[in-house]
Structure 1
Amino acid sequence: MKYESRLQSQKAGFYADVTSAESFKILKDDPGARLIIYFHGNAGHVAQAVRPDAYHTLTDTSDYHLLAIDYRGFGKSTGTPTENGLVHDGIAAVSWAMDVAGIPSDRIVIMGQSLGTAVTTGVAEHFAMQGVEFAGIILIAGFSDMQTLLSSYTAAGFIPILSPIRAIPPLLRFLHRFVLDKWKSTDRLANVVSTTRNRLRLTLIHAKDDIEIPCRESDALFKYASSATMGEELDDEKFGLWKEGKTTRKEDGSFVSVVTAKPDIVIRQELVRYGGHNGIMLSSQVALAVLRSFEPETEKPPV
């Protein structure tokens, strides 16, 4: 391991000044360092459940580093979580990585899982409007927007939340008025794609057996992102036919769809058979998505 001795000499535990940590110095001083900034889901904190194992999986190379944060109101972070607040926290993390750690955006992958995908798209949109482009954007078990998700969401896969009243549209619209945080990731992704000036690697990954957020939510994200490359939105039937021509399917029901466009845009959707809502973070598809983001020559857009 490239920096094994330096990392072994680092004292374990909390650092009031993270810049004094050996791991930070390695990140800052190594011109070949790559950084994954990870935004977790709505449950728990940065060290919850499978997250630490996922961190180890993603950094199983001496050149890859990972930064994970707890949003306001999560873990030991103070404050109250709101949509704007969480996106602001994500922006602050990325700004710190670029300004303090000195990592240029083309050596950064921003990644989110579940709620973290909505944070990621908000962060990506903010920086896209400033002309900042990342090595990759990876959304795992994402959702289109909060109102759509709640309309069909079932807790633990079988306890309906609002789906019983979908047959009463006026009542559903009335209840939607009380959803304060909209999390319109579809619109944000479309903005990211349409404002890309040089290069974009966008990957959507979802498990077919996800009982928390149905995989059709990633279909919606893919449709909006892909439509932004065409300058028009096709109806569901026409888009389905168009997408099928860009899709490779397997016998187990999984598939990979890839859309390429100018100037250098690659949008990739992967549906995997197993992994559920959280275990998918440990899948090889996630690790490979990171590798593809940092290796621009793997898929070429049309001339």
Structure 2
Amino acid sequence: MPPFSRSEKVEDYANQCKPIVWAEHNIKSLDGTKLAVLEGAIPNAESVAIRKNVIVVYFQGNGSSLPPRLPYISNILKLLHRPKTDVRYTVIALSYRGFWKSKGRPSQRGIQLDAQAALNWVSERYGDLPNAEIVLWGQSIGAGVATIAAAAHIDEHAVAKRKEQDRSSALRISGLLLETPFTSLRAMLIALYPQKFLPYRYLGPFLMSTWDSEGALSSIGQTLMKGRDRLKDTGEGEAQSPMRVLLLEAGDDELVPKGDAAKLKAICEESRAIGIEHRIVDRALHTDVMTKGQGKKEITHFLKRFGRDA
């Protein structure tokens, strides 16, 4: 959805994206499904040594394909860019299986494999760059994709460290930007259909997709805290700075129940390894956040922090 979204072309939106240039790449998911990935950045025409690389991995919402979203993402990149800057921002946008040019049919299990494959590709492509940091940005269902992908990536990294395996090419996830997130589809089902005489609220056990951001954020907090405690107990080094999380709520969201972002915030506040911010974009609908001036300002301000030294 909508019709013809699979036939969208990046070049049809190129003029709206300038000076951001978007390149198409083909990767394979963990089960071999062919996926499309878009890579956007301002070409480095200036002879400035890059001190820091910030790679933002974007996970889209449920409707449409990637090309129509590019002008809006490009506007954020334009706001991040400064002449003769020594910080380079790059956005990697994943097209899930069954979306746009990617093969296969969408399912939660399959999309989770796609997200992990995208993070592996980003680590291999950017892992050797100086001071590279990775931020996951998810919108709506994409926020669920981002949190679950982050939880799996962080857990895998922690296990590898305990086993003293070489993970030098695996980038640490430094931040999560969650735009119009919800706790889970199961909780949303009950919130949207609170009437006990309707059958919908009882269908939770039969959902094929749940996208449990609540559980994923709790897992992230626990894993990061265990890592901090291990470093403290063994004296192997200083604990890393907390992961930064921004919850960006639409003030007039017509889909996500009121209070979901506050519940996610409370989970993050339980962990000293997560630095949490919660912002509400006034008069924004579910898909409006990135188009509103306040929304663009909040996103840009959050991403700029990763370009600074600790």
How far did residue 290 of structure 1 move? 1.2
Distance 1:120 1:25, change over 3 A: same
SS in 1 for 2:300: helix
Distance 1:168 1:223, change over 3 A: farther
- Tell me if the contact between 1:186 and 1:225 (Cα under 8 Å) persists in the aligned partners: no
Distance 1:94 1:22, change over 3 A: closer
Distance 1:98 1:150, change over 3 A: same
Cα separation, 2, equivalents of 1:55 and 1:269: 21
Residues 19-53 of structure 1, C-alpha deviation per residue, up to 9 Å, x if partnerless? Answer: xx996996xx95532211100000011123xx222
How far did residue 76 of structure 1 move? 1.3
Find 1:185's aligned residue among 192, 203, 213: 213
SS in 2 for 1:33: strand
Structure 1 unmatched ranges of 5 or more: 1-7, 154-162, 230-260, 298-303
- Tell me if the contact between 1:58 and 1:287 (Cα under 8 Å) persists in the aligned partners: yes
Distance 1:37 1:104, change over 3 A: farther
- Tell me if the contact between 1:46 and 1:70 (Cα under 8 Å) persists in the aligned partners: yes
Q: Are 1:83 and 2:108 an aligned pair?
A: yes
SS in 2 for 1:107: strand
Distance 1:56 1:215, change over 3 A: farther
SS in 2 for 1:290: helix
Find 2:196's aligned residue among 167, 174, 184: 167
Equivalenced residues, count = 240
Find 1:222's aligned residue among 252, 265, 273: 265
- Tell me if the contact between 1:141 and 1:215 (Cα under 8 Å) persists in the aligned partners: no
SS in 1 for 2:254: coil
The aligned runs of 1:288-303 (5 Å cut-off) are 288-295=301-308
How far did residue 203 of structure 1 move? 1.0
Residues 49-82 of structure 1, C-alpha deviation per residue, up to 9 Å, x if partnerless? Answer: xx22221122121621111011001111111111
Residues 168-214 of structure 1, C-alpha deviation per residue, up to 9 Å, x if partnerless? Answer: 49x55642222121211101101111211323111111111111223
- Tell me if the contact between 2:189 and 2:200 (Cα under 8 Å) persists in the aligned partners: no
Task: State the one-letter code of the partner of 1:202.
Answer: V
Cα separation, 1, equivalents of 2:172 and 2:24: 32
- Tell me if the contact between 1:201 and 1:293 (Cα under 8 Å) persists in the aligned partners: no
Corresponding residue number in structure 1 for 2:75: 57
Cα separation, 1, equivalents of 2:149 and 2:309: 22
- Tell me if the contact between 2:21 and 2:42 (Cα under 8 Å) persists in the aligned partners: no
Cα separation, 1, equivalents of 2:182 and 2:22: 37
Structure 2 unmatched ranges of 5 or more: 1-17, 28-35, 83-87, 159-170, 229-239
Report the aligned-residue RMSD: 3.3
Corresponding residue number in structure 2 for 1:114: 140
Distance 1:289 1:13, change over 3 A: closer
- Tell me if the contact between 1:71 and 1:89 (Cα under 8 Å) persists in the aligned partners: yes
Task: State the one-letter code of the partner of 1:92.
Answer: A
Task: State the one-letter code of the partner of 1:148.
Answer: A
Corresponding residue number in structure 2 for 1:140: 179
- Tell me if the contact between 2:98 and 2:104 (Cα under 8 Å) persists in the aligned partners: yes
Q: Are 1:271 and 2:291 an aligned pair?
A: no
- Tell me if the contact between 1:147 and 1:182 (Cα under 8 Å) persists in the aligned partners: yes
How far did residue 216 of structure 1 move? 1.8
Distance 1:45 1:11, change over 3 A: closer
Q: Are 1:150 and 2:193 an aligned pair?
A: no
TM-score, length-normalised on structure 1?
0.69
Overall identity of the aligned pairs, in %: 24
